[in-house]
Amino acid sequence: MKEIVYRTVPTTPEDMKERIRQAFRSIRSKTLERVRQNFVERLYICVDQGGDIFEYLICKIHTSLW
């Protein structure tokens, strides 16, 4: 996002807002679906851990998937 928005320096606050809107419109639906799936996966891991720290498990899970 940042690369797209700041490709050139925004000239006004409205210009900045429009660049952000355009950048978000450029996100593909497949990308949004992967983000959603990843978020749900993290929620399940969090619940399984009783809300405790679980970030270290995400690294292990994703490493084992590769």
Q: How many domains does the chain have?
A: 1
Instruction: Identify the burial level of 16 via C-beta atoms within 10 angstroms of its C-beta, where 0-12 means exposed, 13-18 middle and 19 or more buried.
Output: middle
Look at residues 64, 19, 61 and name the one whose alpha carbon lies nearest to residue 44. Answer: 61
Q: What pLDDT, on a 0 to 100 scale, did the predictor assign at position 32?
A: 93
Q: What pLDDT, on a 0 to 100 scale, did the predictor assign at position 14?
A: 95
Task: State the distance between the two ends of the chain, measured CA to CA, in whole angstroms.
Answer: 26
Token pair in block for residue 34: 């992967």
Domain range holding 49?
2-65
Q: What pLDDT, on a 0 to 100 scale, did the predictor assign at position 48?
A: 84
Per-residue pLDDT tens digits of the chain, which is 66 residues long: 888 888 888 899 999 999 999 999 999 999 999 999 988 888 888 888 887 777 777 766 655 554
Q: What pLDDT, on a 0 to 100 scale, did the predictor assign at position 20?
A: 94
Q: Where are the alpha helices (DSSP H) in the chain?
A: 2-5, 13-25, 29-48, 55-65
